[in-house]
């Protein structure tokens, strides 16, 4: 209730701030996916786990702040996903439409870079061997070089573009593997809706294991593959061909 009762700053009322979170959804990948009453009703009726977006007061403003996990069978709250882990959720839900990939000095010795996401797509491939299920998560990202703070970076070196793409791949893969670890190991609950792809691609397996899905989900072998491509170089467009 503190969120709704907060005094507005500059006449920006809490309800307007909350609506703005939805408006910023496409460019801020730490915001959870919008959840309607209809969505929630469907998840509960289908006995699927899901996430309820969270909000918090930060410096007098309403901000998106992670999400609560609702477990399928009990329809009860069982845990919380912190805001820094929400990007992994967005990629697993295949609803990343924009936003940024921040690559700091730890990933790039020559200086930090910011890539702007122009498009992203996540696909799920499955394979059943006997009674064992494997899944490969493949993420393809198209991006633009938005900011380059690497003053010592040699953009005429042929490998410089691949180095940025490799660093972006590692960053996104780490975020996705982190949320998979939380879902499979810590909570052992499929709030990522992986079951959707099992149902589509492996209907016989799903029919056999639907009732004890969370147990099988926690043991599921899931590999993650990320392919980031920089397709636009912004102010460095003049040497894009040299940097190929």
- Looking at every residue in the chain, the average pLDDT score rounds to 84
Domain count, the chain: 1
φ/ψ region of 188 (left if φ > 0, alpha if ψ in -120 to 50, else beta) reads left
| CATH number reported for the structural domain that contains residue 104 in this entry | 3.30.300.210
Residues 6+ apart with CB under 8 A from 216: 133, 209
Q: pLDDT (tens digit, 9 = 90+) per residue, 182-213? A: 999 999 999 999 999 999 999 999 999 999 99
Enter the pTM of the model: 0.85
Report yes or no: 65 and 83 within 8 Å, Cβ to Cβ: yes
Q: 8 lies in which domain range? A: 2-243
């Amino acid at each position: 209730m503190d969120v709704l009762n907060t005094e507005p700053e500059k006449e920006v009322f809490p309800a307007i701030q909350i609506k703005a979170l939805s408006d910023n959804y496409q460019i801020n990948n730490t915001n959870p996916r919008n959840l309607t009453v209809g969505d929630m009703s469907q998840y509960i009726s289908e006995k699927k786990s899901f996430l309820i977006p969270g909000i918090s007061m930060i410096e007098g403003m309403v901000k998106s702040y992670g999400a609560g996990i609702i477990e399928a069978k009990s329809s009860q709250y069982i845990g919380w996903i912190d805001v820094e882990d929400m990007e992994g959720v967005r990629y697993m839900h295949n609803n990343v439409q924009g936003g940024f990939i921040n690559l700091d000095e730890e990933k790039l010795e020559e200086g930090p870079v910011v890539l702007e996401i122009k498009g992203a797509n996540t696909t799920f491939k499955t394979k059943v061997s006997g009674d064992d299920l494997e899944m490969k998560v493949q993420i393809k990202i198209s991006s633009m070089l938005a900011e380059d703070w690497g003053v010592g970076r040699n953009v005429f070196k042929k490998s410089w573009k691949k180095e940025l793409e490799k660093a972006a791949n590692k960053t996104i893969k780490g975020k996705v593997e982190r949320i998979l670890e939380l879902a499979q190991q810590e909570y052992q609950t499929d709030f990522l809706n992986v079951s959707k792809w099992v149902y589509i691609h492996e209907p016989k397996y799903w029919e056999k294991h639907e009732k004890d899905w969370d147990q099988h989900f926690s043991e599921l072998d899931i590999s993650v593959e990320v392919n980031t491509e920089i397709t636009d170089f912004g102010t460095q467009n003049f040497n894009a061909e040299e940097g190929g």
